[in-house]
């Protein structure tokens, strides 16, 4: 990306074409070239871009990948009207991702609390003496159902413990306290390069103005000499011409320094945005992995809960009213001799 000069870099600033009088309808080569430059390139916030309507469309650095390095070159306005650079947008995405990760961990923490409270209540309920005097096969089934609550409570306690160690903790500890410091380093690094670019651009504009002033001064003196309106000597003309040439050299040097600064900023933007893109991929894959672990643990919990009910199902299938009656009668009978008629 090169910033075009507003003069003919191959010509000299004391070329006669710069000095000859111009009719009202004519345009000097420098101005004609400046017009062409304005049509092909534009500078926005000290960064030079091609004008899309006058140049072929740039090929993306990573076509078809929606890569960070292709879509965050220009600045934008936030809701308050403040200028936000493309790189700041990328940093905000990283910090937002960190916050989302934290909130997910907090959500899992609430899930753990629910599981722990549920397990506590199940265990407490399993010890209630309700219907403890039920007898026979139904009594056995009832006792097993109450015991299954205690078994289920243990399953939920294990589930909450695994949630803490295998889901919540990894979400909390992934990229710890140093992450924000690292983001600040990226921010300062790119911001410093951008500040240098702004400074170089200011120097270009200053040199451009100085050249225009020198060229105008030379043109005026030359015209005055030609029409004998001034006693300016040839020496004065040569001096003005040297100053114009020097101003042109200064402008070329400033433009070169500007292009170097922009090239450095461009390279670091590409490198750093690719690093941020890689970090985001790692974050998403990490969260995906541990949310999958959550669903795995949840399925396991359902399976273990089902296993606690299997003995209950078996005993319920064995409930036999006739057997229960037999057992109860044998234990509680008062006599098997039935009443008979009274004799006179």
| CATH number of the domain that residue 88 is part of | 1.20.1270.60
Q: What is the pLDDT of residue 240?
A: 87
The residue among 236 and 44 whose pLDDT is bigger is 44
Asked if residue 47 is part of any domain, the answer here is no
The DSSP-derived string for 185-203 is HHHHHHHHHHHHHHHHHHH
Q: Tell me the average pLDDT across 120-132.
A: 95
For 188-196, which contacts have Cβ atoms below 8 Å and span 24 or more sequence positions? 189/268, 189/272, 190/85, 190/87, 190/265, 190/268, 190/269, 190/272, 193/261, 193/264, 193/265, 193/268, 194/46, 194/85, 194/265, 196/261, 196/264, 196/265
Give the Cα-Cα-Cα angle 22, 218, 205 (nearest 5 degrees): 95
Asked if residue 342 is part of any domain, the answer here is no
Percentage of the chain with pLDDT > 90? 74
Q: Tell me the average pLDDT across 203-228.
A: 87
pLDDT bucket at 200, cuts 50 / 70 / 90: very high
Asked if residue 201 is part of any domain, the answer here is yes
Q: What is the pLDDT of residues 309-340, one digit of tens each?
A: 999 999 999 999 999 999 999 988 999 898 89
Q: What is the pLDDT of residue 160?
A: 97
Q: What is the pLDDT of residue 7?
A: 35
Lowest mean pLDDT among 102-106, 108-112, 319-323, 337-341: 337-341
Total tally of structural domains belonging to the chain:
1
Asked if residue 267 is part of any domain, the answer here is yes
Domain limits for position 278: 75-318
Lowest mean pLDDT among 93-107, 171-185, 198-212, 222-236: 222-236
Asked if residue 117 is part of any domain, the answer here is yes
Asked if residue 265 is part of any domain, the answer here is yes
Q: Is pLDDT at 81 greater than 70 in this prediction?
A: yes
Q: Tell me the average pLDDT across 183-201.
A: 96
Separation between Cα atoms, residue 320 and residue 220, nearest integer Å: 122
Q: Tell me the average pLDDT across 199-224.
A: 91
Asked if residue 344 is part of any domain, the answer here is no
Give the Cα-Cα-Cα angle 251, 257, 261 (nearest 5 degrees): 140
pLDDT bucket at 293, cuts 50 / 70 / 90: very high
Q: Tell me the average pLDDT across 131-136.
A: 93
Percentage of the chain with pLDDT > 70? 86
Q: What is the pLDDT of residues 239-276, one digit of tens each?
A: 889 999 999 999 999 999 999 999 999 999 999 999 99
The torsion region of residue 176 among left (phi > 0), alpha (psi -120 to 50) and beta comes to beta
Q: Is pLDDT at 280 greater than 50 in this prediction?
A: yes
Most confident of 41-45, 123-127, 217-221, 224-228: 123-127
pTM to 2 decimal places: 0.78
Burial of 237 (0-12, 13-18, 19+ CB in 10 A): middle
């Amino acid at each position: 990306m090169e910033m075009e000069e507003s003069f003919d870099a191959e010509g000299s600033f004391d070329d006669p074409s710069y000095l000859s009088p111009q009719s009202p309808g004519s345009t000097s080569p420098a101005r004609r070239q400046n017009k062409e430059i304005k049509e092909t390139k534009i500078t926005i916030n000290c960064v030079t871009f091609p004008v899309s309507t006058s140049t072929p469309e740039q090929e993306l650095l990573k076509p078809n990948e929606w890569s960070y390095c292709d879509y965050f070159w220009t600045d934008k306005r936030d809701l308050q009207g403040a200028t936000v650079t493309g790189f700041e947008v990328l940093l905000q995405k990283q910090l937002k991702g960190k916050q989302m990760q934290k909130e997910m961990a907090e959500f899992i923490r609430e899930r753990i609390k629910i599981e722990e409270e549920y397990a506590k209540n199940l265990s407490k309920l399993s010890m209630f003496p309700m219907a403890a005097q039920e007898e026979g096969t139904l009594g056995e089934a009832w006792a097993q159902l109450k015991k299954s609550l205690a078994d289920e409570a243990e399953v939920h306690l294990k589930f909450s413990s695994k949630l803490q160690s295998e889901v919540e903790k990894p979400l909390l500890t992934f990229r710890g306290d140093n992450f924000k410091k690292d983001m600040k380093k990226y921010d300062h690094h790119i911001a410093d390069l951008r500040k240098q670019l702004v400074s170089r651009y200011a120097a270009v504009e200053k040199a451009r103005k100085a050249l225009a002033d020198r060229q105008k001064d030379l043109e005026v003196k030359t015209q005055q000499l030609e029409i004998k309106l001034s006693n300016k000597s040839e020496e004065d003309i040569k001096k003005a011409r040297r100053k114009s040439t020097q101003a042109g050299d200064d402008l070329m040097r400033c433009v070169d320094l500007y292009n170097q600064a922009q090239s450095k900023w461009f390279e670091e933007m590409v490198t750093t945005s690719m690093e941020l893109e890689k970090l985001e991929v790692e974050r998403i894959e990490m969260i995906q992995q541990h949310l999958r672990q959550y669903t795995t643990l949840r399925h396991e919990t359902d399976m273990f809960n089902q296993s606690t009910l299997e003995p209950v199902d078996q005993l319920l299938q064995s409930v036999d009213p006739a057997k229960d009656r037999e057992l109860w009668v044998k234990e509680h009978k008062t006599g098997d001799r039935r009443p008979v008629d009274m004799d006179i």
